[in-house]
């Protein structure tokens, strides 16, 4: 059933994208790559963890490490709680969470409207972004969950700043 | 489609066959070692025969020709044994063990690749020929009533074990390494095994004569094979169907209760009743799951007879292994966790514990040594003991070795009790073995045992009596997943402290804290009874924001101890103790090293579980090598030559109003009594000045006076302002013997007053943190005069020079 759906989507050259908001920017993640969206949840902070780790939240009997997209983008963490998207870490066969300010509608996007990252993007954005969709009201940056994996972020070295 | 499902069925069948055969081989291994001791036991022979026969039967059905052939030759040999055409000899047992290894290697190959390795087919023929030879020669020798033991030649053995372990290139690296190592030198074998078994065979050749070399090597291989087997955690688990049914029932009940709760509205009357039911169902379910996870320790023990046998041969010892309490049950994960430490302890017992037969005879003991593995329950934990009746551990040698390695100073060693000395064995890099053997003695030893056991919340104890043996006792909790913990708050967050590391809780009000917490350099310490307890502020360590307004409320000190590190953790508040369910953290958070996991508390909040040992290490608390003498500071190196923990007579005095830091209190100073010759009250007019330095004529000598407290100007001023007829003030001067570059010289130290002469304990201190060494006198901290610290009193010889 699901396979059929995907097949149809691919035929039409469109994908369904879940839109997210961080600060003033709009982002999108392929819905097939999202395991679950948790409502307003405040992660428990982990002292001494890298700054981009928002903390941990309980999820289905496990402890979910959550990455703050705000911090990754160089913004200050918000005092109010955000939403957490649960994503698969395909390498470790585990899950992790991404903390965003808000989750918006699911949009069906034409893959033809996807443009690659511009060359002159700063290294942080280059690392995180996976192209962008040109839309009527601006850009929606596509994110690739595999690029947000905590282990990858740590390995990249660009974001590895310890909390002071 | 159909084809696929067929294939899958075959695979499942094969997997089942492998699991069954492995279990059969395990039994066979146990029986074989037992058979060697009791060769007349027919029951054992039939059991072994059955194991091989089953493999042969099933394997033909599954179409594994190579396995069948080998099993068949083994079966015919065993058949002859069963029919009493053969006699049990150590060669026969050796041959059968090789058969077992061969069968196991093929099974492992099938498990890994699904194939039995056709390419290596011809290699089995050696082993088969060897078995055949054993059979024929055994039968001949029985007929001619010759002793079969003498007659054997070692030649076939040389090649046989290699064949047993030869594998196709697709096999895992562990096994391939053995086979490649065989061709070059013994050293190669040791590489793939982890820390505990490293160097298994490395020096086999050094320690044995040329003639024995081959025998050694083959045995070495066998021993390594066993330990690799031991290290491999068993991925499957056998569960009693009864327990499984019980689990299903309880899950059913849980579902029913959930349904009822889902239907609840806020004003449902029996909500409390439902909550109670949920509670009891959960508790029962937990009990059942834990029960299902419990495995008899016998599973673990059963691997040892073979290991002990092979080790015994390698080390030239005669050893028997006995078991007690095999039916004691332990959580599977813990069973896996004690596997390595236990292997190590048994290895130690055979190699270091049991003496060679000749020595045993001399000591009037039975030639055969006994290693006893015993398991039993004791106060909520399982105790596993490894008892040997060997030579025991000589404390003198332990101390000698410790001094040699600089782990303890001679003076400290002189005062150590036997128990304290034995604790030194757990210090890293320690080994008392006279020669490093191929089995143990590399100093990677008891410290690994201890840290492995403590990792799962257990403890290791050591008892030993010279001449009569050693007992290594491991205490492990029943289960890992659920542990009792104390929840504390610090910096606005909750943290869980495992109860087993918690020894004591202290509350300090803010007013008490001002006096009770003393500062040594940058380290703050609390005097807990006889000892100084280094304090760690959890919020500072974790860079948490300090809770404002908490200052006046005082705080709690949780006295923690793990892996030899003992310290007080300062937290803002305590919450209720809870039984927490330990959840692992993701690898990148585990890397921080301070948290061992996380848990969801009763109020739904996530709390991080503190790794007590790692926290102490992070804060720079040094592990205490020896219990009882346990004042440590952040200094990772043992204090140079200052005898830590030594009792010494000290003169306690006060200098002036110049303490450490800004405190107005006069600092208590101490000086070893042995360095003080006299305490003089010197009238001020006797003190003369030369080039701005105060001097005193004393016994025809001119002494330089040290006036660090700047007391002399003060006294002069007091004299001047006093009435002319009032008695002149005098300065108190300690006449000391000061060690210097040009021998010992006398000097004077001006002090405000001498407080006391009493016995005190010199403490280790970081020289980077404060100038002087510290001493504990009458439960108060005193700084030892800097000139006299490093020596901890003068050496007697230099004293005499002056006298």
Task: Give, in order, the Cα–Cα distances in Å from B274 to each of A71, B246, B260.
Answer: 44, 21, 8
| B481 Cβ contact partners less than 8 Å away, ≥ 6 residues apart | B331, B333, B581, B582
Compute mean pLDDT per 10 residues along chain A, 164 residues long, and list them: 52 82 88 86 85 86 86 80 85 83 86 81 81 83 86 75 48
Q: By a Cβ cutoff of 8 Å, what residues of chain B touch chain A? A: 491, 493, 542-544, 583-589, 591-592, 594-595, 597-598, 600, 604-608
> How many Å apart are CA B370 and CA B386, to the nearest integer?
10
| B7 Cβ contact partners less than 8 Å away, ≥ 6 residues apart | none
- % pLDDT > 70, chain B: 70
Same domain assignment for residues B707 and B612: no
Report the candidate in A75, A49, A58 with the shortest Cα–Cα distance to residue A150.
Answer: A49
Q: Is the pLDDT of residue B423 over 80?
A: no
Query: CATH no. for residue B10?
Result: 1.20.120.160
pLDDT in tens, B108-148: 877 777 777 666 555 677 777 777 777 777 777 666 654 44
Q: Is the pLDDT of residue B156 over 50?
A: no
Report the candidate in B606, B274, B54, B366 with the shortest Cα–Cα distance to residue A44.
Answer: B606
A48/B607 Cβ within 8 A: no
A163 contact residues in B (CB cutoff 8 A): 543
The residue of chain B nearest to residue A47, with distances taken between CA atoms, is B542
DSSP H or E run through A97: strand A94-100
DSSP H or E run through A93: none
Query: CATH no. for residue B651?
Result: 2.40.50.180
Q: Is the pLDDT of residue B503 over 80?
A: yes
Q: How many CB atoms lie within 10 A of CB B424?
A: 23
Distance to chain B for A142, nearest Cα, Å = 25
Residue B768 falls inside a structural domain:
yes
pLDDT in tens, B477-499: 776 667 888 999 888 888 999 88
Query: CATH no. for residue B444?
Result: 3.30.565.10
Residue B486 is predicted with a pLDDT of: 92
Mean pLDDT of B16-33: 80
Residue B209 is predicted with a pLDDT of: 40
Residue A15, chain B, CB below 8 Å: the answer is: no
Pick the more confident residue, B739 or B541.
B541
* Count of pairs with CB atoms under 8 A, one residue in A, one in B: 64
Decide if B410 contacts B403 (C-beta within 8 A).
Answer: yes
Same domain assignment for residues B575 and B694: no
Same domain assignment for residues B21 and B140: yes
Annotate B653-690 with b (16+ C-beta within 10 A) or e (fewer). Answer: bbbbeebeeeeeebbbbbbbbbbbbebbebeeeebeee
Using CB atoms, pick whichever of B542, B585, B604 lies closest to residue A48.
Answer: B542
Instruction: Label residue B577 by pLDDT band (50, 70, 90).
Output: confident
Instruction: Label residue B665 by pLDDT band (50, 70, 90).
Output: low
The angle formed by the CA atoms of residues B538, B543 and B546, to the nearest 5 degrees, is: 70
Give me the residue label for tokens 């740590």. Answer: A154
Using CB atoms, pick whichever of B584, B604, B608 lies closest to residue A46.
Answer: B608
pLDDT in tens, B647-656: 567 777 877 6
Using CB atoms, pick whichever of A57, A63, A151 lies closest to residue B588.
Answer: A151
| B619 Cβ contact partners less than 8 Å away, ≥ 6 residues apart | B534, B536, B541, B567, B634
Domain extent for B793: 647-802
User: B385 - beta bridge partners?
Assistant: B374, B473
Distance to chain B for A149, nearest Cα, Å = 10
Test the A interface: residue of B540, B588, B593, B597 with most A CBs within 10 Å: B588
Same domain assignment for residues B344 and B431: yes
Measured over all CA atoms, what is the biggest interatomic distance in chain A, rounded to whole angstroms? 50
Dihedral angle over CA of B773, B777, B780, B784, nearest 10: -20
DSSP H or E run through B87: none
Show the tokens assigned to B448: 């690994």
ipTM of the predicted assembly exceeds 0.85:
no
Query: 3-class DSSP state for residue B287?
Result: helix
Residue B192 falls inside a structural domain:
no
- In degrees and rounded to multiples of 5, residue B298 shows phi and psi of -55, -35
Distance to chain B for A91, nearest Cα, Å = 12
Same domain assignment for residues B127 and B258: no
Tell the burial category of B322 from Cβ atoms under 10 Å away from its Cβ (0-12, 13-18, 19+).
exposed
Decide if B86 contacts B39 (C-beta within 8 A).
Answer: no
B584/A63 Cβ within 8 A: yes
Q: Is the pLDDT of residue B35 over 70?
A: yes
Same domain assignment for residues B771 and B674: yes
Residue B487 is predicted with a pLDDT of: 92
Annotate B152-171 with b (16+ C-beta within 10 A) or e (fewer). Answer: beeebbebbbbbbbbbbeeb
Show the tokens assigned to B90: 């150590």
> How many Å apart are CA A57 and CA B604, to the nearest integer?
10
> How many Å apart are CA B762 and CA B739, to the nearest integer?
19
Residue B391 is predicted with a pLDDT of: 82
Q: Count structural domains, chain B.
A: 5
Instruction: Label residue B215 by pLDDT band (50, 70, 90).
Output: very low
Query: 3-class DSSP state for residue B274?
Result: helix
Same domain assignment for residues B697 and B712: yes
Residue B252 is predicted with a pLDDT of: 92
Residue B124 falls inside a structural domain:
yes
pLDDT in tens, B351-404: 878 888 888 888 888 888 888 999 988 766 788 999 988 888 777 777 877 777
Same domain assignment for residues B701 and B737: yes
Q: Is the pLDDT of residue B184 over 70?
A: no
B594/A150 Cβ within 8 A: no
B583/A47 Cβ within 8 A: no
E-state strands within B752-790: 753-763, 773-777, 780-784
Q: A2-156 adopts what CATH topology?
A: OB fold (Dihydrolipoamide Acetyltransferase, E2P) (2.40.50)
Pick the more confident residue, B386 or B48.
B386
The pLDDT mean for chain B works out to 71
Using CB atoms, pick whichever of B543, B544, B586 lies closest to residue A150.
Answer: B586
Show the tokens assigned to B539: 């919020």
Residue B207 falls inside a structural domain:
no
Residue B634 falls inside a structural domain:
no
Same domain assignment for residues B15 and B156: yes
Same domain assignment for residues B607 and B525: yes
Residue B552 is predicted with a pLDDT of: 61
Q: Is the pLDDT of residue B646 over 60?
A: no
Residue B637 falls inside a structural domain:
no
Residue A77, chain B, CB below 8 Å: the answer is: no
Residue B255 is predicted with a pLDDT of: 92
Q: Is the pLDDT of residue B773 over 80?
A: no
> How many Å apart are CA B782 and CA B776, to the nearest integer?
6
Decide if B393 contacts B470 (C-beta within 8 A).
Answer: yes
Q: What is the rounded radius of gyration, in angstroms, for the C-alpha atoms of chain A? A: 16
Q: Of the spans A29-33, B98-102, B160-164, B578-582, which averages the highest pLDDT?
A: A29-33
> How many Å apart are CA B472 and CA B95, to the nearest integer?
33
Same domain assignment for residues B300 and B290: no
Measured over all CA atoms, what is the biggest interatomic distance in chain B, rounded to whole angstroms? 123
Same domain assignment for residues B32 and B133: yes
pLDDT in tens, B252-305: 999 998 888 888 887 777 888 888 888 888 888 887 887 788 888 888 888 888
Region of poorest pLDDT, from B11-25, B36-50, B262-276, B782-796: B782-796
Phi/psi zone of residue B786: left (φ > 0), alpha (ψ -120 to 50 degrees), beta? alpha
Residue B488 is predicted with a pLDDT of: 92
Show the tokens assigned to B590: 């585990």
Residue A51, chain B, CB below 8 Å: the answer is: no
B540 contact residues in A (CB cutoff 8 A): none
């Amino acid at each position: 059933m699901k396979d059929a759906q995907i097949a149809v989507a691919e035929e039409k050259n469109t994908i369904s994208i879940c839109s997210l908001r961080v600060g003033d920017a709009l982002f999108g993640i392929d819905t097939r790559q999202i395991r679950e969206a948790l409502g307003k949840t405040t992660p428990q902070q982990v002292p001494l963890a890298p700054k981009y780790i928002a903390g941990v939240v309980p999820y289905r009997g496990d402890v979910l490490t959550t990455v703050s997209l705000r911090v990754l983008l160089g913004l200050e963490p918000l005092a109010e709680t955000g939403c957490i998207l649960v994503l698969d870490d395909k390498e470790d066969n585990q899950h992790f969470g991404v903390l965003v300010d808000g989750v918006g509608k699911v949009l069906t996007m034409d893959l033809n409207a996807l443009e690659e990252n511009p060359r002159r993007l700063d290294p942080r954005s280059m690392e995180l972004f996976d192209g962008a969709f040109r839309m009527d009201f601006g850009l929606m940056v596509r994110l690739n969950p595999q690029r947000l994996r905590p282990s990858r972020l740590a390995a990249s070295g660009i974001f590895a700043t310890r909390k002071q | 489609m159909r084809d696929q499902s067929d294939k899958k069925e075959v695979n499942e069948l094969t997997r089942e066959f492998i699991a069954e055969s492995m279990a059969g081989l395990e039994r066979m291994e146990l029986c074989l070692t037992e058979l060697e001791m009791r060769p007349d036991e027919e029951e054992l022979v039939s059991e072994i025969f059955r194991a091989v026969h089953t493999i042969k039967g099933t394997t033909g059905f599954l179409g594994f020709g190579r396995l069948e052939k080998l099993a068949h030759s083994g079966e015919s040999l065993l058949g002859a044994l069963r029919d009493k055409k053969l006699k049990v000899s150590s060669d026969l047992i050796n041959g059968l063990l090789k058969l077992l290894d061969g069968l196991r290697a093929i099974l492992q190959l099938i498990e890994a690749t699904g194939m039995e390795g056709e390419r290596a087919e011809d290699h089995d023929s050696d082993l088969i020929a060897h078995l055949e030879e054993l059979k024929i020669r055994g039968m001949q020798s029985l007929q001619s009533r010759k002793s079969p033991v003498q007659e054997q030649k070692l030649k076939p053995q040389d090649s046989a074990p290699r064949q047993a372990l030869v594998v196709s290139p697709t096999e895992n690296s562990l096994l391939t390494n053995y086979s490649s190592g065989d061709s070059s030198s013994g050293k190669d074998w040791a590489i793939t095994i982890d820390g505990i078994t490293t160097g298994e065979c490395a020096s086999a050749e050094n320690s044995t004569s040329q003639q024995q070399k081959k025998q050694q090597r083959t045995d070495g291989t066998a021993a390594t094979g066993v330990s690799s087997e031991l290290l491999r955690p068993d991925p499957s688990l056998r569960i009693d169907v009864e327990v499984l049914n019980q689990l299903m029932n309880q899950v059913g009940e849980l579902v029913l209760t959930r349904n009822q709760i889902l239907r609840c509205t806020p004003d449902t009357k029996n909500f409390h009743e439902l909550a109670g039911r949920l509670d009891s169902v959960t508790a029962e379910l937990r009990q059942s799951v834990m029960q299902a996870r419990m495995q008899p320790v016998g599973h673990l023990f059963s691997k040892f007879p073979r290991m002990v046998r092979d080790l015994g041969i390698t080390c030239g010892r005669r050893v028997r292994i006995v078991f007690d309490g095999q039916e004691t049950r332990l959580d599977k994960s813990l069973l896996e966790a004690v596997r390595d430490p236990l292997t190590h302890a048994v290895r130690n017992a055979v190699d270091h514990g049991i003496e060679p037969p000749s020595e045993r005879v001399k000591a009037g003991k039975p030639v055969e040594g006994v290693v006893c593995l015993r398991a039993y329950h004791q106060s909520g934990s399982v105790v596993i003991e490894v008892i040997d009746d060997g030579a025991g551990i000589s404390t003198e040698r332990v101390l000698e070795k410790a001094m040699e390695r600089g782990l303890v100073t001679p003076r400290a060693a002189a005062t150590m009790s036997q128990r304290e000395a034995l604790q030194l064995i757990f210090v890293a890099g320690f080994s008392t073995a006279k020669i490093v053997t191929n089995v143990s003695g590399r100093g990677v030893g008891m410290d690994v045992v201890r840290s492995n056991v403590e990792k799962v919340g257990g403890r290791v104890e050591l008892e030993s009596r010279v001449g009569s043996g050693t007992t290594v006792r491991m205490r492990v909790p029943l289960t890992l997943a659920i542990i009792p913990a104390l929840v504390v708050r610090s910096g606005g967050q909750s943290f869980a402290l495992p109860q087993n590391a918690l020894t004591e809780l202290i509350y300090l009000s803010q007013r008490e804290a001002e006096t009770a917490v003393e500062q040594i350099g940058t380290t703050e310490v609390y005097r807990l009874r006889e000892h100084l307890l280094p304090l760690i502020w959890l919020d500072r360590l974790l860079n948490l924001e300090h809770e404002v307004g908490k200052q006046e409320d005082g705080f709690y000190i949780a006295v923690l101890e793990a892996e030899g590190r003992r310290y007080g953790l300062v937290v803002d508040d305590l919450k209720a103790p809870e039984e927490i369910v330990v959840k692992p953290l993701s690898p990148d958070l585990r890397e921080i090293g301070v948290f061992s996991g996380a848990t969801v508390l009763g109020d739904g909040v996530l709390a991080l579980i503190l790794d007590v040992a790692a926290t102490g290490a992070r804060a720079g608390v040094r592990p205490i090598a020896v219990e009882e003498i346990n004042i440590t500071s952040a200094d990772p190196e043992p204090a140079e030559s200052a005898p830590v923990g030594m009792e010494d007579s000290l003169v306690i005095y006060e200098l002036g109003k110049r303490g450490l830091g800004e405190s107005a209190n006069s600092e208590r100073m101490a000086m070893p009594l042995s360095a003080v010759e006299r305490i003089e009250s010197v009238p001020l007019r006797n003190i003369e000045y030369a080039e701005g330095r105060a001097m005193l004529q004393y016994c025809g000598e001119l002494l330089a006076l040290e006036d660090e407290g700047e007391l002399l100007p003060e006294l002069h001023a007091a004299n001047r302002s006093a009435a002319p007829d009032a008695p002149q003030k005098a300065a108190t001067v300690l006449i000391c013997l000061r060690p210097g570059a040009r021998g010992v010289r006398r000097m004077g130290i001006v002090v405000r007053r001498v407080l006391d002469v009493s016995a005190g304990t010199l403490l280790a201190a970081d020289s980077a943190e404060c100038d002087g060494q510290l001493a504990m006198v009458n439960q108060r901290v005193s700084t030892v005069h800097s000139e006299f610290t490093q020596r901890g009193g003068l050496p007697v010889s230099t004293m005499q020079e002056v006298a």
